């Protein structure tokens, strides 16, 4: 068990900077998820922690020891890869024992550790098979087992669920959570799937273009995204954005764009004062928008035209046109019949409005 500390870590491939100045403190036994779109530098960061990529600048420390110049084998880490990376020419048993055998652990101890890991992951019947003879889910369990047997300081996961089909992915996600409770090891998990990030992580690091945009618990990221990118990346369906002009009239801020005009009490939004005469971006989560007129003073209302309805069974998602922008409204009663082109009124609590810099 150990903490992982990244201090101003950088990675450059010639003139291309893949990871820019990342500082992160992963606490002992914490499960941190690095999430972001393809090419955001999350896998490169993980590979630098593993020692598979050299660090161009900054330091990486595991358990208080700077490991920048240590070989992967000397960092006491274990890693699960996207495509499992099992040794195809070995049986499952030998795959599991490979790391211990390399460290010259006595055979009886290896056998015991392998049996223990196999029992934990319910892969005992598969021990004498070759990886080729296993399904994707079974291979992923073996890959997890290979990490477990060594009892390392840190687990690194590089998109381990991406190759599984949707149903199996959900199942493995649950199994990973259960496994965490039994084996609470410091873990860093890389994914591009925000649902995986939200469900698995104690804390989430959102990355884009090699830069860390926000670090926080899943709820912090969902409720208080620091910028438009984080807001758009976390949550499904994605947050709606509207670029509006800010004006101040007496005690009220007026936010307006084509087809929309929102009046907000200026006392509730002191920060908007500095934006008067400028454009800002309003963010509204589809789940926070309610059909109908504002119920009280804490809500603001607007009108729009229904463009598309998406029936999901337990709810409907509407695409509503406000002036020139389409927004989504989620959580609509599935039995509500709404014709395309019909006008509707909707409202949102002002507390649920997010404000970002306009693009």
For residue 52, state whether it binds other proteins (rule: CB under 8 A).
yes
For residue 355, state whether it binds other proteins (rule: CB under 8 A).
no
For residues 294 to 333, the per-residue mask of contacts with other proteins, x marking binding by CB under 8 A and - elsewhere, is: ----------------------------------------
**Which residues are CB-contacts of 335 (< 8 A; sequence separation ≥ 6)?**
none
Long-range contacts of 270-273 (CB under 8 A, 24+ apart): 271/355, 272/246, 272/355, 273/248
Q: Which stretch binds other proteins (CB under 8 A): 62-70, 99-107, 225-233, 349-357?
A: 99-107
Reduced to 3 states (helix: H, G, I; strand: E, B; else coil), residue 217 is coil
Q: Which of 86, 126, 262, 346 binds other proteins (CB under 8 A)?
A: 86
Nearest 10 degrees: Cα torsion 258, 263, 267, 270: -10
Residue 103 or 177 having the CB closest to other proteins: 103
For residue 71, state whether it binds other proteins (rule: CB under 8 A).
yes
- Given a contact cutoff of 8 angstroms between Cβ atoms, the answer to whether 36 and 18 are in contact is no
Place of tokens 């758009």: 232
CA dist 4 and 323 (Å) reads 49
Closest CA to 187 of 222, 229, 144: 144
Q: Which of 42, 141, 146, 173 binds other proteins (CB under 8 A)?
A: 146
Residue 69 or 337 having the CB closest to other proteins: 69
For residue 73, state whether it binds other proteins (rule: CB under 8 A).
yes
Helix, strand, coil fractions of the chain, as percent rounded to 5: 30, 35, 35
Q: Which of 8, 37, 54, 89 binds other proteins (CB under 8 A)?
A: 89
For residue 162, state whether it binds other proteins (rule: CB under 8 A).
no
- Given a contact cutoff of 8 angstroms between Cβ atoms, the answer to whether 233 and 206 are in contact is yes
Q: Which of 21, 63, 70, 81 binds other proteins (CB under 8 A)?
A: 81
Q: Which of 37, 65, 87, 307 binds other proteins (CB under 8 A)?
A: 87
Q: Which stretch binds other proteins (CB under 8 A): 38-46, 66-74, 163-171, 253-261?
A: 66-74
Binding site for other proteins (CB under 8 A): 50-52, 71-73, 75, 77-79, 81-83, 85-89, 98-99, 102-103, 146, 150
């Amino acid at each position: 068990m150990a903490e992982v500390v990244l201090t101003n870590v950088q990675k450059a491939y010639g003139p291309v900077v893949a990871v820019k100045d990342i500082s992160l403190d992963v606490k002992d036994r914490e499960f941190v998820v690095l999430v972001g779109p393809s090419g955001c530098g999350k896998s490169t960061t993980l590979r630098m922690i593993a020692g598979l990529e050299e660090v161009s600048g900054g330091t990486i420390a595991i358990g208080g020891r700077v490991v920048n110049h240590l070989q992967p084998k000397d960092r006491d880490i274990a890693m699960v890869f996207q495509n499992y990376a099992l040794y195809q020419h070995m049986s499952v048993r030998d795959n599991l024992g490979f790391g211990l055998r390399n460290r010259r652990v006595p055979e009886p101890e290896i056998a015991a550790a392998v049996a223990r890991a196999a029992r934990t992951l319910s892969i005992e019947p598969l021990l004498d098979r070759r990886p080729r003879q296993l399904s994707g889910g079974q291979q992923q369990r073996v890959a997890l087992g290979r990490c477990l047997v060594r009892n390392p300081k840190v687990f690194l996961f590089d998109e381990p669920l991406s190759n599984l089909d949707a149903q199996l992915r959900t199942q493995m996600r649950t199994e990973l959570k259960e496994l965490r409770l039994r084996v609470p090891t410091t873990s860093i998990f890389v994914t591009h799937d925000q649902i995986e990030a939200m469900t698995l992580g104690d804390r989430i690091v959102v990355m884009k273009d090699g830069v860390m945009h926000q670090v926080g618990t899943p709820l912090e990221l969902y409720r208080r995204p620091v910028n438009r990118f984080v807001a758009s990346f976390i949550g499904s369906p994605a947050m709606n954005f509207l670029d509006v002009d800010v004006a101040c009239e007496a005690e009220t801020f007026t936010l307006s764009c084509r087809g929309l005009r929102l009046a907000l009490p200026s006392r509730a939004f002191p920060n908007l004062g500095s934006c008067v005469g400028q454009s800002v971006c309003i963010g509204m989560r589809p789940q926070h928008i309610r059909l109908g007129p504002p119920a009280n003073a804490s809500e603001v209302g607007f009108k729009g035209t229904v463009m598309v309805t998406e029936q999901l069974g337990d709810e409907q998602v509407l695409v509503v046109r406000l002036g020139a922008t389409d927004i989504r409204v989620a959580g609509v009663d599935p039995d509500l019949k709404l014709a395309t082109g019909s006008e509707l009124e909707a409202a949102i609590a002002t507390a649920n409005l997010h404000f970002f810099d306009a693009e």
